[in-house]
Amino acid sequence: MSVKIGRKVPDVALHLTGDRQARLSDYRGRPLVLYFYPKASTPGCTREGLDFSAAIHKFRRQSCRILGASRDSLKAQENFKAKQGFPFDLVSDPDEVLCQAFDVIKMKNMYGKQVRGIERSTFLIDAEGVLRREWRKVKVKGHVEEVLEAVKALKKA
């Protein structure tokens, strides 16, 4: 059930901050940036979220919405969003349904040990629900600008 560029993404159920339920299909009609991060309130994940926050008006000018997702509990996501003031929702995916659909769970080295975790990844889904771009093994610095350029290019296409 893994996603592929040029194909519709699966219509996965989402548990959003604000304790709201949604589906990926609810986001059709406008482009969507869905980014996955390893763990709420850690330095790299905070920086990435703040970078998306700082650029939110540029994404909104492109009619693009943003969702951040991790395996964290809803409470952890709520705290992360509130503390950082993110102007977009976060998805709590402790059962890894969304993570599995986008194939972001990988074996990673952490302090010399192999652990299962989220590989920092971003996906650009068009207004029809088709995956147009993906970034895997994301490095945070400069990433948001690259995603924004892809959103602008998508709008022109």
What pLDDT digit, counting tens, does each position of 71-97 carry? Answer: 999 999 999 999 999 999 999 999 999
pLDDT at 109: 80
What percentage of the chain carries pLDDT values higher than 90? 90
Is 45 catalytic? The answer is yes
Strands 13-16 and 20-23: antiparallel
Res. 110: pLDDT tops 80 = no
Q: Which residue out of 12, 16, 40, 45 is catalytically annotated?
A: 45
Q: What is the CATH architecture of 13-156?
A: 3-Layer(aba) Sandwich (3.40)
In Å, how far are 3, 93, 95, 139 from 8, measured between CA atoms?
8, 20, 22, 26
What phi and psi, each to the nearest 5 degrees, are found at residue 149? -60, -40
Q: pLDDT digit string (tens) for 10-52? A: 999 999 999 999 999 999 999 999 999 999 999 999 999 999 9
pLDDT at 61: 97
Instruction: Spell out the domain ranges in the chain.
Output: 13-156
User: What phi-psi label fits residue 19: left (phi over 0), alpha (psi between -120 and 50 degrees) or beta?
Assistant: left
What percentage of the chain carries pLDDT values higher than 70? 99
Q: Which residues of 52-74 are buried (b: 16+ CB within 10 A; e: fewer)?
A: bbebbeebeeeebbbbbbbbbeb
Mean pLDDT of 97-111: 90
pLDDT at 1: 58
Res. 6: pLDDT tops 80 = yes
Q: pLDDT tier at 107 (50, 70, 90 boundaries)? A: confident
d(CA 128, CA 108): 33
The amino acid that residue 26 corresponds to is D
